[in-house]
Structure 1
Amino acid sequence: MTERRRRRMWWPGLLAALALLVTAAPAAPAAPAVAEEPRTPVTVPALTDWSPEPGSYTYGRGTRLVAGTGTGAERRVAGTLAADLRTAGHGTVPVVGGAARAGDIVIDIRPGRSSLGTEGYELHAGRRLSVTGATETGAFYGTRTLLQLLAQGDRVPAGRTVDVPRYRERGVGVCACYVHVSLPWLENLVREMAYHKLNQLLLELKVKSDAHPEANTWGYYTKDEIRRLVALGEKYHVEIIPEINSPGHMDPWIENRPDLQLTDTDGTKQPSGLDITRPEAFAYYKSLMDEYAEVFPGRDWHMGADEYMLGSDFAKYPQVLKYAREKYGPHATPQDAFVDFVNRVHAYADSRGKRLRIWNDGLTGANTVPVAAGTTVEHWLNVAVKPSELIAQGYPLMNAAYALYLVRGGFHTDTEALYDQSWDPRSFEGEKLTSSEGITGAKISLWPDNGRGETENEVAVALWPALRHIAQATWGDPHPDATYAGFTARGTAVGHAPGFRDLTRVAVADGTYTFRTAGRSFTASLRRTADGYVTLRTQDGCLEVRGGKLTLNVPLQPGVEVTPQICDPAATLQRWELEPAGGGGHRLVNAITRMTVSVTDDGRLAQYPPDQRTPAVWHLT
């Protein structure tokens, strides 16, 4: 046997022995397997009790919306969801009855699920996805969560959540009381509120009056415009609460009614103050409430009741003390006359099936007559009567803290700081409460103290983070992410609501154009601004609304001229919206006054509300 052959024969045996040795040797300790923690799906407000399950739900071409037991409420929720899915680019999904199959979305309303309350819901994702509420509103909110999940992809991790709000009032307040806010902007707001489960929009605004045409100076909305907005709110479960501020801040209503203005001992009239001692003044206010009831069917009425004697002394108005003592006795104070007016409004609102809301700063403690029980107090200012006292006295209390304000052209809430502090609705101006008992909720507020300070599109930039923060703080855990950057990433992930309109989009390219309409033409260089409007530079300067009486730094009178002025990039009154008018034409709408440009009989350009004078339609070449 040759040496080579002997090696060939023993080599396989050696390999086998080595293999046996290796197999028998103790293995080196392996690194322990780390199970990946199931992630809670990203939503705003954040889900607090997600229970993961194996697998996922897939939204696809065969998905149907199954209206559980087939009730009208289930079909309404399913119908709204179907429309929003289509708008969001998820295709057309049929609404059906009967049994569900894999891939379907089931809308189920079970009144017996009392633990869900009036707004809570359960969402379960598996082979199919179900949304269950004890009420129509609860089921609707479950569909908002679903839309946010689908905004991040067509696969939803399998699991279950029961999601119930901590506070029943979660809101936004907007003062469109002097400077107009466009209807598309308000419609965007309603959609965004519903998408983030906010349920209450306070609007201090003027509705064009049939009963009092003398009050129809500009910033009003027509009744048809309000009906359209209220219908959108009803569809998206956002209650729109109207406010006519009184007895102070009444100047938008009594500018042309000097007979109703509070008059001092020198005969000087207070144009913003209603004379609460005059029966005619109360009758006037009641008639305005009646008109608003035609277009605002909700249960709440806000009368303001703030800053009535701002910068004034009751001593100069002896008729107020006289009224109080004649009605309440010799120890009555002027403040009692004010509370008496509040209580009369409360009684009238109650007779119309409405609940009264007021601001807190008029409750100075100088009154001997109490505010009527059941009046909701919205606390925004630190005054002598503290939130804890109001709760102890039995008043429903909403947190409308100044720290949550966005003042147009002024103070802006510091959302990042509030988030880092884990702010919640117990933190009032001047007092932090240890319990949430008696607190109805909280809201952010938008006020136009300097009307020309910012355009409404600029306000929106600061609004969306604040809106998401108040939604989080009023619905669930006020600090779901370790950092503010983590929280803002949630907002980026879920995006905007279906149907949200990008109001910064300008359809016309920058360039020099001739603007032509019947009886007038001009040539201007058109340039887009960063906030989504345009400037129009003619050979004589940039077109601007200039003249008239200023209210909050804005010329709000119809008929004020549009003239060339020295171009100033910071001048918001030089910014214009090109509103499509059909047939390739456009209307020119001022970014601040929201009035349209018309051509007067003698050929001048002037701003007018569109229902007072037909807007010019401009064709650009």
Structure 2
Amino acid sequence: MTTLGCQQTEGGQGTPGTHSPARPSAHATTATSARSPSAVPPHRTAAAAPPRTIPSVRDFAAASGPGWRPGDDSRVVADLEGPLADEARLIAAELGLRTTSGPARRGDLCLGLAPKESGGGEAYTLKVAGGRARITGPAEAGVFYGTRTVKQALRSGGRLPEGVIHDRPGRAQRGLNLDIARKFYSVGWIEARMREMADLKLNQLALHFSDDQGFRIQSTSHPEIVSTPHLTKDQVRQIVALGQRLHITVIPEIDSPGHLGAVIRAHPQLQLRNAGGTTFQGSVDISHPAAARIVDDLMREYAPLFPGRWWHLGADEYLALTVKDPQASFPKLAAAAKREYGPSARVQDLVTGWLNDRARLARQLGKRPKAWNDGFFAGGVVQPAKNIEVEYWTGRLKETARQPEEYLKEGREVVNLNDSFLYYVLGQPGGFTYPTGERIYEDWSPAVLRGSTPVADKSLTGPDRILGARFAIWGDRPEAQTPAQVAQGIRLPLAALAQRVWDPGKPPLSWSDFTRLAERLGV
């Protein structure tokens, strides 16, 4: 196997490759020194135990030997003009080492690409032998995760054990959902959480930046809707750039056609009203052409700002569908549905048409659309497009409640945001309680989409059907906790999620041992 960028001396193999220029250099702002005064002595030891990390490594073949820890002359070796330059500089700064290109020698940590390795782009191999450590993977993301294992193993045990680690995620999507519309968080706070996420091998940050309480990103197409405080576009670019260095995709969410109160304040003519003139908070009149026009303007404006793969359309809690008879209560919507989709169409068909139209635009903009599960209705003349990912959060809304199996049996791909386990709702309104890491660790898995019972049909719960999970912070009562309290409150739940979504098996540690390890690692 050719290992690009990890040439070795003393019988090592591999040749440095020629690569495109690296991404902007990473800067370690929370460096953790695991450097020892001298290299590990060359005596032989018994076969070692796996390193203690969060998430735990999935496959470790132990060997006899002293292992590896950085010494005075240790270096991080990589092609510093290639795609692993950021990864090399970050781990070097964290360990207090210098970087270099060229052959690796005893005592070094070497990073290289091995395109033919199996396991996908987030997999990696970490080999400790001959007095050196080597991380390889098919793509940069996997090598980066290997450096997270190195960092944690040195902090938890002082050295890397002799042997070979083969590691890879059990689910492709793993991350955090952050509501900055109801409760604003600073760039520094967001970036601190991203660094913590990266150490846990989480790879998505979804930003919910538009809701009834505020619209939190600068806009040139519709500046009239923007709230104070908000993120400037340069600040968003800063967050996205950090995400690229940490292999975290930042996903934008403009929730519609509900949760648009900030837009309605600037455009009151779009307010949804029933036949009696009663207003419905946050919901727009989707029969009004300007409603779609504004949302589409914003999508087109922000698509270049968020270069990642996904776009979240929201689609939850549209209040026109929470009444007993939407057709009678909203005759204007009912008439629009019939005009657009035929005499049998109902209000829910008009709402589904709205979702499909926004999903079509997202795809035109190069994005894969996501939407909350209660925006996918059973029956009807119009069906939601099959290539919209279902973000399953609840079955508690009686008007739109559907079992997770229904979406999976329709052939849809689902992401788990089970509100019984993964919702951190400030102030704990509406029966919500702050989730605990222990409950996630002991009782939850990606297959537990609703309540506490996993989907029974295991043919529906593989990583190709349930794509992963995110932990969600919602600011319903924004003053209930300070940003520092939120950061502390989510620490163990996020670590527990990282373990359960990386490795599908039973966690190897007891909860008490896991919490002690998390404390030692600082995650």
TM-score, length of structure 1 as denominator length = 0.70
Q: Which is higher, the Rg of structure 1 or of structure 2?
A: 1
For 1:469 and 1:95, locate their aligned partners in 2 and report how far apart those are by CA, in whole Å: 33
Matched, 1:377 2:411: no
Matched residue, 2:403: 386
Residues 180-202 of structure 1, C-alpha deviations (whole Å, 9 max, x = no match): 11221111111111110000111
Q: 1:170 aligns with which of 151, 174, 177?
A: 174
Task: Give the percent of matched residue pairs that are identical in Structure 1 and Structure 2.
Answer: 35
Matched, 1:485 2:485: no
Residues 507-548 of structure 1, C-alpha deviations (whole Å, 9 max, x = no match): xxxxxxxxxxxxxxxxxxxxxxxxxxxxxxxxxxxxxxxxxx
- Shift of the 60–482 alpha-carbon distance from structure 1 to 2, 3 Å rule, reads closer
Q: CA deviation at 1:171?
A: 1.2
Matched, 1:46 2:73: no
Query: What letter matches 1:112 in structure 2?
Result: K
Residues 191-220 of structure 1, C-alpha deviations (whole Å, 9 max, x = no match): 111110000111101212222222123242
- Shift of the 312–320 alpha-carbon distance from structure 1 to 2, 3 Å rule, reads same
Gaps of 5+ in 1: 1-34, 497-621
Q: 1:341 aligns with which of 354, 374, 379?
A: 354
Contact 1:57 1:125 in 2 (8 A): yes
SS in 1 for 2:59: coil
Matched, 1:134 2:138: yes
For 2:380 and 2:230, locate their aligned partners in 1 and report how far apart those are by CA, in whole Å: 35
Q: Where in structure 2 are the equivalents of 1:84-99 lying within 5 Å?
A: 85=94, 90-91=95-96, 93-99=97-103
Tell me which moved more, 472-481 or 182-191: 472-481
Residues 429-467 of structure 1, C-alpha deviations (whole Å, 9 max, x = no match): 155224223110111111111112111211122201011
SS in 1 for 2:169: coil
For 1:201 and 1:281, locate their aligned partners in 2 and report how far apart those are by CA, in whole Å: 27
For 1:258 and 1:268, locate their aligned partners in 2 and report how far apart those are by CA, in whole Å: 13
Tell me which moved more, 358-367 or 41-50: 358-367
- Shift of the 267–384 alpha-carbon distance from structure 1 to 2, 3 Å rule, reads closer
- Shift of the 369–494 alpha-carbon distance from structure 1 to 2, 3 Å rule, reads same
For 2:504 and 2:274, locate their aligned partners in 1 and report how far apart those are by CA, in whole Å: 51
- Shift of the 351–200 alpha-carbon distance from structure 1 to 2, 3 Å rule, reads same
For 2:380 and 2:353, locate their aligned partners in 1 and report how far apart those are by CA, in whole Å: 10
Q: CA deviation at 1:365?
A: 1.6
Q: CA deviation at 1:276?
A: 1.1
For 1:220 and 1:259, locate their aligned partners in 2 and report how far apart those are by CA, in whole Å: 24
Q: 2:438 aligns with which of 405, 410, 416?
A: 416
Q: Where in structure 2 are the equivalents of 1:580-595 lying within 5 Å?
A: none
Residues 468-525 of structure 1, C-alpha deviations (whole Å, 9 max, x = no match): 01100110145324521011122123224xxxxxxxxxxxxxxxxxxxxxxxxxxxxx
Matched residue, 2:25: none
Tell me which moved more, 176-185 or 281-290: 176-185
Matched residue, 1:589: none
Matched residue, 2:446: 425
TM-score, length of structure 2 as denominator length = 0.83
Matched residue, 1:119: 122
Contact 2:370 2:391 in 1 (8 A): yes
Contact 1:124 1:161 in 2 (8 A): yes
For 1:37 and 1:120, locate their aligned partners in 2 and report how far apart those are by CA, in whole Å: 24
**Aligned Cα RMSD in Å?**
1.9
Q: CA deviation at 1:294?
A: 3.6
Contact 2:180 2:208 in 1 (8 A): yes
Residues 397-456 of structure 1, C-alpha deviations (whole Å, 9 max, x = no match): 0011002111112121132123223x2100111552242231101111111111121112
Query: What letter matches 1:373 in structure 2?
Result: K
Matched, 1:100 2:84: no
For 2:74 and 2:261, locate their aligned partners in 1 and report how far apart those are by CA, in whole Å: 55
Contact 1:178 1:252 in 2 (8 A): no
SS in 2 for 1:72: coil
Q: CA deviation at 1:78?
A: 1.1
For 1:277 and 1:446, locate their aligned partners in 2 and report how far apart those are by CA, in whole Å: 32
Tell me which moved more, 261-270 or 281-290: 261-270
Query: What letter matches 2:518 in structure 1?
Result: G
- Shift of the 246–293 alpha-carbon distance from structure 1 to 2, 3 Å rule, reads same
For 1:173 and 1:342, locate their aligned partners in 2 and report how far apart those are by CA, in whole Å: 21
For 2:366 and 2:61, locate their aligned partners in 1 and report how far apart those are by CA, in whole Å: 43
Query: What letter matches 2:286 in structure 1?
Result: I
Matched residue, 2:481: 454
For 1:367 and 1:36, locate their aligned partners in 2 and report how far apart those are by CA, in whole Å: 66
For 1:75 and 1:224, locate their aligned partners in 2 and report how far apart those are by CA, in whole Å: 24
For 1:387 and 1:218, locate their aligned partners in 2 and report how far apart those are by CA, in whole Å: 38
Runs (4+) of structure 1 exceeding 4 A deviation are 310-313
Contact 1:57 1:129 in 2 (8 A): yes
Contact 1:335 1:366 in 2 (8 A): no
- Shift of the 148–365 alpha-carbon distance from structure 1 to 2, 3 Å rule, reads same
SS in 1 for 2:478: coil
Contact 2:47 2:64 in 1 (8 A): no
SS in 2 for 1:40: coil
For 1:488 and 1:368, locate their aligned partners in 2 and report how far apart those are by CA, in whole Å: 51
SS in 2 for 1:374: coil
Residues 3-49 of structure 1, C-alpha deviations (whole Å, 9 max, x = no match): xxxxxxxxxxxxxxxxxxxxxxxxxxxxxxxx988422100001122
Q: Where in structure 2 are the equivalents of 1:390-409 lying within 5 Å?
A: 390-403=407-420, 404-409=422-427
Matched residue, 2:333: 320
Q: CA deviation at 1:332?
A: 1.2
For 1:464 and 1:151, locate their aligned partners in 2 and report how far apart those are by CA, in whole Å: 18
SS in 2 for 1:201: strand
Matched, 1:65 2:76: yes
SS in 1 for 2:166: strand
Q: 1:238 aligns with which of 242, 245, 248?
A: 248
- The answer to which structure has the higher strand fraction is 1
- Shift of the 219–392 alpha-carbon distance from structure 1 to 2, 3 Å rule, reads farther
Matched residue, 2:376: 363
For 2:504 and 2:336, locate their aligned partners in 1 and report how far apart those are by CA, in whole Å: 49
Q: CA deviation at 1:148?
A: 0.8
Q: CA deviation at 1:262?
A: 1.5
For 1:453 and 1:263, locate their aligned partners in 2 and report how far apart those are by CA, in whole Å: 32
Matched, 1:295 2:305: yes
For 1:73 and 1:328, locate their aligned partners in 2 and report how far apart those are by CA, in whole Å: 50
Residues 30-74 of structure 1, C-alpha deviations (whole Å, 9 max, x = no match): xxxxx9884221000011221111221131111111116x66112
For 2:363 and 2:334, locate their aligned partners in 1 and report how far apart those are by CA, in whole Å: 27
For 1:239 and 1:482, locate their aligned partners in 2 and report how far apart those are by CA, in whole Å: 29
Matched residue, 1:285: 295
Q: Number of aligned pairs?
A: 453
Matched residue, 1:565: none
Matched residue, 1:445: 472
Q: CA deviation at 1:290?
A: 1.8
Contact 2:69 2:160 in 1 (8 A): yes
